[in-house]
Amino acid sequence: MTGPSRTAEIRRLAADDEGAATAALAALFADLFGLAAEGVAINRDQYSLNSLNGFFSAAGADYFFKFHQEDGEEAMTGEYYRADILARAGLPVDMPVFVSNLPGEQVLVYRRRSDPRFSDVLRALDIAALDGFRDLAGEADATAAERGLDASIMRVYLDSLHPVTVAEAAAEPIHRLFHDRLVDMPGRRFPGGRFAGFYFGKPVRLPGVGLGWNDFAGRRLVVNGRVYRRTIGELFAAAGARLRPDLLSDVGGVVAHGDAHNANVWYGKGSEGPTLSFYDPAFAGEHVPALLAEVKATFHNVFAHPLWLYDPAEAARRFVATVRLGEGVLAIDTNWALTPVRQALLAAKVELVWKPLLSSLKTRGLLPADWREVIRLALFLCPTLVMNLRAGATTHTETSSAIAFAVAVMVGSEPETSEDEMTAFLDAIDPDR
């Protein structure tokens, strides 16, 4: 197709003119699927940072729709939304009833279901814990459901792990979540993409402090008294160099969802307890570089919470962040911390996914010497490029922006001395320990 994508235009309309957006959606469903959509409604959803979802009815049936719309998608090659890959591998996945894979018109339509998303279940548990009234039974159910899904994921990773060629690794759509957001296409000109658009030449406002981007990105961060080795600018440069798609064939490939944040996971009640199932496999693949496969799920389901990424105003109400400038440094002190349920989810990922995956990679000669670097840099890109973290650019406040950049550096850079949550995580999954 030529010109702007229809999904991009619909997302633009949804921000300013819902009536025009719903009319455009009805026309899209008619053109793509021959459906006479009625009662089209857009779901206002804090988790839809790069997507749109909602509901409609047609021919007496109720449907849920979702599409992920990436910058410059109309110029991309390769398919989104290959749910069949996950289903064939034996992963629990909700299969859409209508699918369009056309660039710029990539849409999934599901039968509407009443199950909550796992993200909503976990948010309620976070809020209860922050309010001092932990729902221990709910946390236990959520953790059990997570462990069940993680066991299935690991079985598929181990069964599907295989050497991949440079071409196979580079063709996977998961790179659109990482390196593609750092560069201008075609040609992968670095710096570019969201990285340049979000940050270059823009002011960074933090509590009591305002800096230009170059000044901010060149300062070393000190978070709660802990000094980090790399600046934000150095982390972006390192990610641009190491996470190039053509350089990730060295880690082998697996069948993976690739973007399994919990707003893409249903929380169902089975006869033997809660169960989880995927939907919206926009970046699913058969040759997903193994060290990238679980990065989005790990960051967005653990370190993006509680609240700061998806609900900045509420985070600013509940947490504090103070900022001080020093010679070449920026110090951030905050009382933000993981809640118990997020710690439990991370422990499950460590035990059931990351540790066995890295052990298998090592056994098969597919674990690069700089595997910690690859994981850290990919984790760093999760918050910084999923949305603009500068206060006032989108929904971030000065407080949530300070927390955001502190967490991004914590996952991306080694600290100078003492251990933090990320070094503990990497030590726990190290196959040599």
Over residues 98-108, the pLDDT tens digits come to: 988 777 778 88
pLDDT band for position 43 (cuts 50, 70, 90): confident
Of the ranges 57-61, 84-88, 343-347, which is most confident?
343-347
230 found inside a domain: yes
Q: What share of the chain is helix, strand, coil (3-state, %, to 5)?
A: 45, 20, 35
Report the pLDDT averaged over residues 232-237. 98
* Pair 324, 238 in one domain: yes
SS3 253: strand
Average pLDDT for the chain: 92
CATH code (residue 45): 3.30.200
For the cut 60, the answer to whether the pLDDT of residue 2 exceeds it is no
For the cut 70, the answer to whether the pLDDT of residue 197 exceeds it is yes
pLDDT computed for residue 69 by the predictor? 62
Number of domains in the chain: 2
* Pair 336, 235 in one domain: yes
Which of left, alpha, beta for 193 (phi over 0: left; psi -120 to 50: alpha)?
Answer: left
pLDDT computed for residue 157 by the predictor? 98
Residue where a domain stops, chosen among 111, 130, 147: 111
* Pair 197, 77 in one domain: no
Measured over all CA atoms, what is the biggest interatomic distance in the chain, rounded to whole angstroms?
Answer: 66
SS3 65: strand
* Pair 96, 168 in one domain: no
pLDDT computed for residue 108 by the predictor? 87
pLDDT band for position 48 (cuts 50, 70, 90): low
* Pair 190, 102 in one domain: no
* Pair 316, 177 in one domain: yes
Q: Respond yes or no on whether the N-terminal peptide bond of residue 92 is cis (omega within 30° of 0).
A: no
pLDDT computed for residue 80 by the predictor? 53
139 found inside a domain: no
pLDDT band for position 71 (cuts 50, 70, 90): low
Q: Which of 4-8, 220-224, 258-262, 346-350 has the lowest mean pLDDT?
A: 4-8
Sheet strand arrangement including 321-326: 226-227, 220-223, 329-334, 321-326
Q: Respond yes or no on whether the N-terminal peptide bond of residue 4 is cis (omega within 30° of 0).
A: no
pLDDT computed for residue 269 by the predictor? 84
Q: Respond yes or no on whether the N-terminal peptide bond of residue 356 is cis (omega within 30° of 0).
A: no
Residue where a domain stops, chosen among 89, 111, 133: 111
Residue where a domain stops, chosen among 42, 77, 111: 111
217 found inside a domain: yes
pLDDT computed for residue 1 by the predictor? 43
Report the pLDDT averaged over residues 364-377. 97
267 found inside a domain: no
In this structure, what token pair is assigned to residue 216? 């901010």
User: How large a percentage of the chain has pLDDT more than 90?
Assistant: 82
259 found inside a domain: no
Main-chain phi, psi angles of 390, to 5 degrees: -75, 135
Sheet strand arrangement including 51-58: 38-42, 51-58, 61-68, 105-111, 98-102
Estimate to the nearest angstrom the gap between the alpha carbon of 415 and the chain centroid.
24
* Pair 106, 198 in one domain: no
34 found inside a domain: yes
Radius of gyration in angstroms for the set of CA atoms belonging to the chain, rounded to a whole number = 21
Residue span of the structural domain in which 24 resides: 6-111
Which of left, alpha, beta for 63 (phi over 0: left; psi -120 to 50: alpha)?
Answer: beta
Tell me, what amino acid is at 202?
K
* Pair 101, 177 in one domain: no
Q: Are 29 and 7 in contact (CB under 8 A)?
A: no
276 found inside a domain: no
CA 412 – CA 422 distance, rounded (Å): 9
15 or 181, which is more confident: 181
In this structure, what token pair is assigned to residue 223? 């978070």
Q: Could you report how far apart the first and last alpha carbons of the chain are, in Å?
A: 51
pLDDT computed for residue 4 by the predictor? 60
For the cut 50, the answer to whether the pLDDT of residue 78 exceeds it is no
pLDDT computed for residue 102 by the predictor? 77
116 found inside a domain: no
pLDDT band for position 272 (cuts 50, 70, 90): confident
* Pair 232, 374 in one domain: yes
CA distances from 1 to 5, 21, 104, 105, 135 (A): 8, 20, 8, 10, 50
Per-residue pLDDT reduced to its tens digit, 324-345 = 999 999 999 999 999 999 999 9
Model confidence, pTM: 0.91
